[in-house]
């Protein structure tokens, strides 16, 4: 038995409108390119409740990273609204933390100084000691204590990505946006990071939006999965993943998870135009 919701409806936690952290209403966006207008997003409507974890999957180039920039206020949509906890997003937000596939750590700074960077930019009243305590508590949470004085090049790819996660969260953002953060890692490191992400989420209770191409990753981490269609992207399918917050990798091999993965794979084939939707 699966808990797939129909598009835009159902009984998901997002119905509690006063408790919605990220809300997209009919968001559309078109880029002007040398070849003419390129419609990328088409009337996207979905929301992420406070403390929720939503994964967005969809074909390459369908507009997923564009969506993250709209939520972070780095761009304004042509039509529709993005709201963060009810407030219309029109400018870049400090309350959003972001981590990407490439961690882009600064080589001339130690790991802890890289993690501290947002606290040097975002206004706050913390003392240097408080800032360092905050950074160290995150580094401990992701298993990097003891590496705080190393340079980024002295760490493995997985460790750099852990540090990047700490940097994205150090200023306690209300919303954490992860754009394929584990995409460049080998399968085992990636699974380790998924478990770290669970621990981080449990401790920090941040609202998360994850962009991924990995359906297992989406099922393992998210409580809601949004499947976007090919460009211009619409919300093709919404799935609630009702597995609770205590998850282990074995949970990916249950009949329920297999069924969820099959539904998602089928939806991706439709999005890529390789299959027809069921009538």
CB 201 to ligand ATP: min, Å: 23
Nearer to ligand ATP, 40 or 72 (CB): 40
Nearer to Mg ion, 65 or 272 (CB): 65
What is the distance between the alpha carbons of residues 130 and 147, in angstroms, rounded to a whole number?
19
CB 76 to ligand ATP: min, Å: 13
| Selected range binding ligand ATP among 3-11, 17-25, 32-40, 268-276, rule: CB under 6 A | 32-40
The structure tokens listed for 2 are 């699966």
| 95 part of the interface to Mg ion, by CB under 5 A | no
CB 32 to ligand ATP: min, Å: 7
CB 163 to ligand ATP: min, Å: 22
DSSP string, the chain: ---EEPTT-SS-GGG-GGGEEEEEEEEEEEEEETTEEEEEEEEEEEEEETT-EEEEE--TTSSHHHHHHHHTTSS--SEEEEEETTEE--S--TTEEEEESS----TTS-HHHHHHHHHHHS-----HHHHHHHHHHHHHHTT-TT-TTS-GGGS-HHHHHHHHHHHHHTT--SEEEEESTTTTS-HHHHHHHHHHHHHHHHHH--EEEEE-S-HHHHHHH-SEEEEE-SSSB-EEEEEE----S---GGGGGSHHHHHHHHHHHHHHHHHTTSSPPP-
| 31 part of the interface to ligand ATP, by CB under 6 A | yes
| Selected range binding ligand ATP among 8-16, 30-38, 83-91, 237-245, rule: CB under 6 A | 30-38
Nearer to Mg ion, 228 or 240 (CB): 228
Nearer to Mg ion, 64 or 190 (CB): 64
What is the distance between the alpha carbons of residues 112 and 200, in angstroms, rounded to a whole number?
17
CB 179 to Mg ion: min, Å: 6
| Selected range binding ligand ATP among 3-11, 33-41, 91-99, 216-224, rule: CB under 6 A | 33-41
CB 272 to Mg ion: min, Å: 16
Nearer to Mg ion, 65 or 124 (CB): 65
Nearer to ligand ATP, 148 or 214 (CB): 214
Q: Give residue for tokens 């990097």.
A: 144
Listed residue (240, 155, 249) closest to 196, CA to CA: 249
**Cis previous bond, 91, omega within 30:** no
Interaction with ligand ATP in 38-97: which residues (CB under 6 A)? Answer: 38, 40, 60-66
Site string for Mg ion, 53-72 (x = CB under 5 A): -----------xx-------
For ligand ATP (CB under 6 A), the number of binding residues is 11
Point out which residues bind ligand ATP (CB under 6 A). Answer: 31, 33, 38, 40, 60-66
Point out which residues bind Mg ion (CB under 5 A). Answer: 64-65
């Amino acid at each position: 038995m699966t808990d797939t919701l129909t598009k835009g409806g159902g009984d998901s936690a997002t119905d509690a409108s006063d408790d919605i952290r990220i809300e997209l209403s009919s968001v559309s966006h078109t880029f002007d390119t040398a070849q003419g207008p390129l419609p990328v997003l088409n009337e996207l409507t979905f929301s992420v409740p406070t403390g929720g974890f939503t994964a967005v999957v969809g074909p390459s180039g369908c507009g997923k990273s564009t969506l993250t920039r709209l939520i972070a206020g780095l761009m304004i949509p042509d039509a529709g609204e993005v709201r963060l906890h009810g407030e219309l997003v029109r400018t870049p937000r400090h309350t959003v933390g972001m981590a990407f596939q490439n961690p882009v750590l600064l080589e001339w700074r130690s790991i802890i100084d890289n993690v501290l960077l947002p606290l040097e930019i975002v206004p706050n009243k913390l003392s240097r000691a408080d800032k360092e305590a905050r950074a160290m508590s995150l580094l401990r949470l992701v298993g990097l204590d003891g590496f705080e004085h190393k340079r980024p090049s002295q760490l493995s790819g997985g460790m750099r990505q852990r540090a990047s996660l700490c940097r994205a969260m150090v200023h306690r953002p209300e919303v954490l946006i992860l754009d394929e953060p584990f995409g460049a890692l080998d399968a085992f490191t990636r699974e380790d990071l998924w478990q770290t992400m669970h621990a981080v989420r449990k401790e920090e209770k941040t609202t998360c939006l994850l962009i991924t191409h990995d359906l297992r990753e989406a099922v393992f981490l998210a409580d809601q999965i949004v499947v976007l269609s090919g460009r211009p992207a619409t919300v093709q399918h919404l799935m609630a993943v009702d597995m609770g917050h205590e998850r282990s990798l074995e949970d990916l091999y249950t009949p329920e998870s297999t069924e969820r993965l099959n539904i998602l794979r089928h939806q991706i084939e439709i999005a890529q135009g390789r299959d027809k939707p069921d009538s």
